Amino acid sequence: MASSAISQVPAAVSVNSDTFLPRSVFKTNNVSFRNKSWTLDSKIASSGLKNRFVVCMSVQQASTPKVGVSPLDLEDVKEPPLHLYKNKQPYTATIVSVDRLVGPKAPGETCHIVIDHGGNVPYWEGQSYGVIPPGENPKKPGTPHNVRLYSIASTRYGDSFDGKTASLCVRRAVYYDPETGKEDPSKNGVCSNFLCDSKPGDKVQLAGPSGKVMLLPEDNPNATHIMIATGTGVAPFRGYLRRMFMEAVPTFKFGGLAWLFLGVANTDSLLYDEEFSKYLQDYPDNFRFDRALSREQKNRSGGKMYVQDKIEEYSDEIFKLLDSGAHIYFCGLKGMMPGIQETLKKVAEQRGESWDEKLSQLKKNKQWHVEVY
């Protein structure tokens, strides 16, 4: 009943502080229904998302009904969109918002960036956009910068649920001179700093979308999906989880298990934590979430807690799920994989199995999905 009443206007639900429109620009009206209250925001942001109402709920106010999405013909496409825009002929999109995701004690800065593509650069969950920062390539004067790939952190409907935006999760790449310890701006990441410094209304050049290895298999809505991320590698998994637990997609009714492992430095570095915590609250039988905080937690040996330590902690259960057909995904810095592979090999040997043979079988069954950078 509540969701049908709200569906009379395009609506979006925000379950954490990473709203795609700054709360400060809104005038609000409160709406109550069956002891639950919502804030109905009616002022228009300057981002160009005009004539739209936005329903915002805090974690404490959130209710189980899912959010309506449109246009539903995005579900009719049988093959994922690929390379609609090339590096040499990119699409000019518009920055909607840039919000810092991490707390003051996080090492480095990570931003949630919403981009308005007007519905002209559609994508599927698990795909990437190429971003071409403005300016010239210093190694090739007179030519644009090289394209940088970023995993998309939203579903195909975007954070505004209308199929017109996409979100990126970007860590600002900053270089510090090892001798002086001071920042050297000339060596900072060109694209990440451009994106994190962007303002609403700024233009951004997009190529893509690209990628098929991280697409979410939907042939079995009751499947198990084990997602392992470090840092901004959580981006595609945010898209998966919003599709599973937040959006009312008529053709996809998830009834399986989604299990997320996220490795970051400390509590302030956690990304989308309130959003994921809400899924734990609303879908305790379908979602599990384990955090590995390397600077705050200890593993069984007394060392720093990394994602591979969490995997080892639950290794028996993970292997049983894989034997039953579960999909397993890895996304993050490429340095995460050697430690994870070593842990999985050790666990396999303890179980009297050959990891090489098991890995080969997982790949053959299309259960193994890796995207590292």
List the one residue out of 97, 98, 28, 35 whose CA is nearest residue 56. 28
Active site includes 150?
Answer: yes
Helix (H) or strand (E) holding 202: none
Q: Starting from the edge strand earliest in sequence, which strands make up the sheet with 28-33, in order?
A: 28-33, 36-41, 54-56
373 is annotated as an active-site residue:
yes
Other Cβ atoms within 10 Å of 127 Cβ, number: 25
Please report, for residues 258, 286, 314, 323, the alpha-carbon distance to residue 326 in angstroms, rounded to integers and kept in the order given: 10, 14, 14, 7
Contact by Cβ (8 Å): 261, 296 = no
Helix (H, G, I), strand (E, B) or coil at 115: strand
Q: Is 198 a catalytic residue?
A: no
What radius of gyration, in Å, describes the C-alpha atoms of the chain? 21
Task: Look at strands 165-171 and 224-230 and give their pairing.
Answer: unpaired
Closest CA relative to residue 241, chosen from 223, 227, 229: 227
Residue (of 308, 264, 260, 261) closest to 106 by Cα position: 264
Q: Which of 85, 123, 129, 150 is catalytic?
A: 150
Q: Which bin fits 267, alpha (ψ -120 to 50), beta or left (φ > 0)?
A: alpha
CB 182 within 8 A of CB 33: no
Q: Which two tokens mark 269?
A: 């570095």
- Cβ-based neighbours of 40, under 8 Å, separated by 6 or more: 28, 29, 30, 31, 53, 54, 55
Q: Which of 70, 176, 349, 373 is catalytic?
A: 373
Q: Can 331 be counted among the known catalytic residues? A: yes
Annotated catalytic residue, options 14, 47, 151, 154: 151
Q: Which residue has the tokens 């920055």?
A: 95
Torsion angle of C-alpha atoms 59, 65, 71, 72, degrees rounded to 10? 130
- CA atoms of 253 and 82, how far apart (whole Å): 25
Active-site residue list: 150-151, 331, 371, 373
